[in-house]
Homo-oligomer: A and B are copies of this chain.
Amino acid sequence: MGKLARPGPGKLQFIPLGGLGEIGKNLSAVVYGNDIILIDCGLAFPEPDMPGIDLVLPDITYLLENKDRVRAIFLTHGHEDHIGGIPYFLKQIQVPIYGTRLTLGIVEMKLQEHQISLHPKSHPVDPGDTIRVGSFSVEFFRVNHSIPDATGLIIRNPVGTIVHTGDFKFDHTPVDGHVADFHKLAQVGSEGVLLLLADSTNAERPGYTPSEKTVGKTLDRIIEQATGRVLVSSFASQVHRIQQVVESAVRHGRHVAVVGRSMENVVQKATELHYLDFPEGTWMSLDNILKQPANKTLILTTGSQGEPMSALTRMSTSDHKKVEIMSGDTVIISATAIPGNEKMVARTVNNLYRLGAEVYYGPNIGIHVSGHACQEELKLMLNLVKPKFFIPVHGEYRHLVHHAQLAREVGIDPSHVLIGENGTVFELTKDSAQIVGQVPAGKVLVDGFGVGDVGNIVLRDRKQLSNDGILIVVVGMDAQSGLLVSGPDIVSRGFVYVRESEALLDEARSRVKSALTAMEGGNLSEWSAIKALVRDTLGRFLWDRTKRRPMILPIIMEV
């Protein structure tokens, strides 16, 4: 479609470019007149059908086409699916970024790795602060989540007020003592809110998400009873989890070491900014803690998702340089498996058991709670904010559908509840909300240094190579006579174990040679004909013999 007309006077647009129909790469635009502000700038992790891809970014074609109107990015919190896209974004569009201290702290660590700086107008904010950008006035308000300093946004504008929850839960006994800003939500709700955009991650789940403190209690009990070493793995950014583990360690006379780059980084930044408190004498280097008695040892480690290169995974396969799991160790995997990671986590658990550890894992024993609101909390948010219109965000399509159902249940007019996807253009006035069109939206794949250079064709080839390998057929043709001069030579990779399959490859070779010789002088002056002949002959032969379809790559050397 052509360039989307900017919204006319009295019209506000909400355009998600990532985060709808998926959990990942959150990035949304709010558009009024000449001003576009962005909410979050995340990345997504590759799907199983994206081999070799490192990460996935949202397609920002729409923003590039309107570059002159993009004013600022407002960050809700410091998770990768909300900030991971920033280094790539800033290489294309430089705008100020606003977020809470820990959020911006994590962003800065990330930008250092890419050797870029924040726009000079960027600065950290505290919950309660308001930033004015163009026709927008954006106020940050506190919510609870699985990372400290998480906020939602109240976006005021001539057309009306938008409330974006960020990722949230309601924790009435949060570890840092900061509850979500119920008062602010009630206040803005009674002022009148035009549109609510809310986190749909747990919209399928009835009830409410338990407090983070319940996990602290359970972990404390396990740590208290452990007679040997304790190893605890959680998401690196779960600072409140780490805080509670540290406090348990202190309570039960154990030193604490931190292992794994991402956790070491977050712990360092969080401690620097006073989100994490390591009491004097608790922290110890890994080398030192390994000399301590087992019952005075607690190791915080990465690897709660069974990630192949992570510390805990390497320990579980006896591949870690320093830490050897032994009988008597207690390992607590204080996380749940993100969908897609279940087998990797299971593998790590099995291997830890094989090494004689006692392992605590799984969603039902109180060692982890979600950072996202379940149905009762989502309904509370809806009833506090009392929006005129509601668009569920941050979820796969099924989550959005369930969240829309909740909105109808609390009494929002069904025609005021809109479900869309990335690229959907929602247009609002004081009295109406509708979908008016679509902008480009999609995935940009990052592989190594390459951004966007791996597309469907390359992926399709990788999948074929992955399934059945490749055969390269090299023939030397005399350019003048069109006669076969040398070959065909066949080299294969990923197809069969050559030493055991010589007969098959010999026969393949002679089949191709016969086919080429039979065609000599005729069509063979056309290289494309030669290649087609090789592919057909060999392809058919291999399918009949093996029921496999390796990629066939004919190469013609002109001699």
Q: Which residues of A contact B (CB under 8 A)?
A: 21, 47-48, 51-52, 204, 339-340, 342-343, 346, 349-351, 353-354, 359, 362, 396-398, 401, 447-450, 453-455, 457-458, 461-463, 465-470, 472, 474, 476, 486-487, 489, 491, 493-497, 500-501, 545-548, 551, 553, 555, 557-559
The contact of A343 among B47, B346, B359, B472, by CB within 8 Å, is: B47
Decide if B496 touches A453 in the complex (CB within 8 Å). Answer: yes
Please name 30 pairs of A and B residues whose Cβ atoms are closer than 8 Å in the assembled complex, sorted by A. Answer: A21-B350, A47-B343, A51-B466, A51-B467, A52-B494, A52-B548, A339-B346, A340-B343, A351-B397, A354-B397, A447-B468, A448-B547, A450-B496, A453-B496, A454-B496, A454-B497, A457-B497, A458-B469, A458-B494, A458-B495, A461-B469, A461-B493, A462-B466, A462-B494, A472-B555, A476-B557, A486-B558, A489-B555, A493-B553, A559-B559
Residues of B within 8 A of A458 (CB): 469, 494-497
Q: What separation, in Å, do the CA atoms of A51 and B49 have in the docked complex?
A: 12
The contact of A449 among B397, B398, B547, by CB within 8 Å, is: B547
Decide if B204 touches A362 in the complex (CB within 8 Å). Answer: yes
Residues of B within 8 A of A466 (CB): 51-52, 462-463, 465-466
Residues of B within 8 A of A547 (CB): 448-449
Name which residue of chain B comes closest to A465, CB basis. B465
Closest chain-B Cβ to A334's Cβ sits at a distance in Å of 17
Copies of this chain per assembly: 2
Name which residue of chain B comes closest to A486, CB basis. B557
Decide if B52 touches A469 in the complex (CB within 8 Å). Answer: yes
Q: What separation, in Å, do the CA atoms of A462 and B349 have in the docked complex?
A: 27
Residues of B within 8 A of A47 (CB): 343
Decide if A470 touches B470 in the complex (CB within 8 Å). Answer: yes
Residues of B within 8 A of A487 (CB): 557
Per DSSP, chain A at the interface is mixed
Q: What separation, in Å, do the CA atoms of A350 and B419 have in the docked complex?
A: 13
Complex A-B, nearest 8 residue pairs according to Cβ-Cβ distance, in ascending order: A448-B547, A466-B466, A465-B465, A52-B467, A461-B494, A350-B397, A462-B494, A51-B466
Q: What separation, in Å, do the CA atoms of A351 and B401 have in the docked complex?
A: 12
Closest chain-B Cβ to A543's Cβ sits at a distance in Å of 8
Q: What separation, in Å, do the CA atoms of A476 and B474 have in the docked complex?
A: 11
Residues of B within 8 A of A546 (CB): 447-450
Residues of B within 8 A of A339 (CB): 342-343, 346
Residues of B within 8 A of A351 (CB): 397
Having A349-B398, A350-B398, one finds 6 other A-B pairs with CB under 8 Å, namely A339-B343, A340-B342, A346-B396, A462-B465, A465-B493, A487-B557
Residues of B within 8 A of A557 (CB): 474, 476, 486-487, 557, 559
Closest chain-B Cβ to A448's Cβ sits at a distance in Å of 3
Residues of B within 8 A of A350 (CB): 21, 396-398
The contact of A453 among B465, B497, B553, by CB within 8 Å, is: B497
Q: What separation, in Å, do the CA atoms of A470 and B462 have in the docked complex?
A: 9
Residues of B within 8 A of A461 (CB): 469, 493-494
Residues of B within 8 A of A340 (CB): 342-343
Decide if A468 touches B52 in the complex (CB within 8 Å). Answer: yes
Name which residue of chain B comes closest to A544, CB basis. B449
Closest chain-B Cβ to A454's Cβ sits at a distance in Å of 7
Residues of B within 8 A of A476 (CB): 557, 559
Q: What separation, in Å, do the CA atoms of A493 and B51 have in the docked complex?
A: 13
